[in-house]
Amino acid sequence: MERPAWAPPGIDISVPSVSRVYDYYLGGSHNFEVDREAARKAMEYLPGLPKIMQANRAFMRRAVRYAVSEGITQFLDIGSGIPTFGNVHEVAQSAAPGARVVYVDHDPVAVAHSRAVLEGNDHADVLAADLRKPQDILTAPETGALLDLDRPVALLLVAVLHFVQDCDEPHRVLAELRDALAPGSLLILTHASYEGIPLPQERAGGAVAVYKDIRNPLIMRSREEVTRFFDGFDVLEPGVVPMPRWRPENPVDQEDPYAFSGFAGVGRKA
C-alpha cells in the first residue's frame, strides 16, 4: 500500500479510523482507501451519512458563534478530528481574534494534521489525549498554557460521545469535565441516534454494524439519554433538538431529511 507523505510515521494505514472516515464524508483528502471502503460500506445502508456530518458541522459553527456572542473566547474541543474548512479556531477567531482553542484527539493522524494546520497560530494548539481520561486533558500543559479554567470555557463534544460505550462511564467523564469548568461555561454537544433517521432502524443498523466491524462501536442513544448528558447544565432554547433546528440561520424546511438524524444541544453551567 502506497504510504502518503502526510501520514505520520508509526500509524497503521491498513486499519480504518473514525476521524479519517469522517474526513471522507466531509469531502476531505486526509483518508486512506481502507477508510473510504468503510465509509462506502456504511453508506450502502445509510446513504445520507455525508449530509448528517454536514449538518453536524453547520451546528458546531452556529454554536461557536453563539458562544462568542455570549463573551466566551475559550474553547476546548474534544474528539476534534481532522481539521477541515470552517474548524472551531477559524470560526471563533474570525468572530473574536484573540479566541483560544485547544483541540483534543486520540487519533495520531488527526493530531498530526491539526499541528500542521495550526502552525504559527499562537492562540490554538492540539493535544493527543482520550476523552475517557479527562484528567489527562485538564492537567495537560497545552490546556494550561491557553485556557484559564477559572473563566468560562465552551466545551465541545461534537459527534464524539456516541463512540464512548456505557462501560466507559460517559456520565462520570462528563461530570469530571463539568466540575473543572467555571460557572457560565457552555457544553456544545451532538450525538447519533436512530431517532430522526428517515429509514427503518434495521436498515440504519447496517451502518452501525460497519463501525463495530472497524472496532469503533457507534452507540445510538435516545433523545432522553442524550439529554441526560446535560446534567448540571441549564439546557438553552430550543433544547435538545435535531441539528438543523438549533437556532437555524436558514429555512429548516429546505434541509435534506437526513440532516435531522441525531441530536444537538447547548447547555450553560449555572
d(CA 174, CA 200): 31
Is the sign of the CA dihedral 21, 210, 46, 41 positive or negative?
positive
Does residue 130 fall inside a structural domain? yes
Does residue 250 fall inside a structural domain? yes
Give 149-160 pLDDT, tens digit per residue. 999 999 999 999
Does residue 253 fall inside a structural domain? yes
> Can you give the residue range of the structural domain that contains 182?
48-199+219-269
* Angle, alpha carbons 123-124-130 (nearest 5°): 145
Does residue 257 fall inside a structural domain? yes
Statement: residue 1 has pLDDT above 90: no
Does residue 3 fall inside a structural domain? no
- The percent of residues above 90 in pLDDT, for the chain, comes to 83
Does residue 104 fall inside a structural domain? yes
CATH number at residue 264: 3.40.50.150
- CB within 8 A of 133, min separation 6: which ones? none
* Total domain count, the chain: 1
Does residue 224 fall inside a structural domain? yes
d(CA 213, CA 129): 23
Average pLDDT of the segment spanning 170-192 = 98
Does residue 209 fall inside a structural domain? no
**Mean pLDDT for the chain?**
94
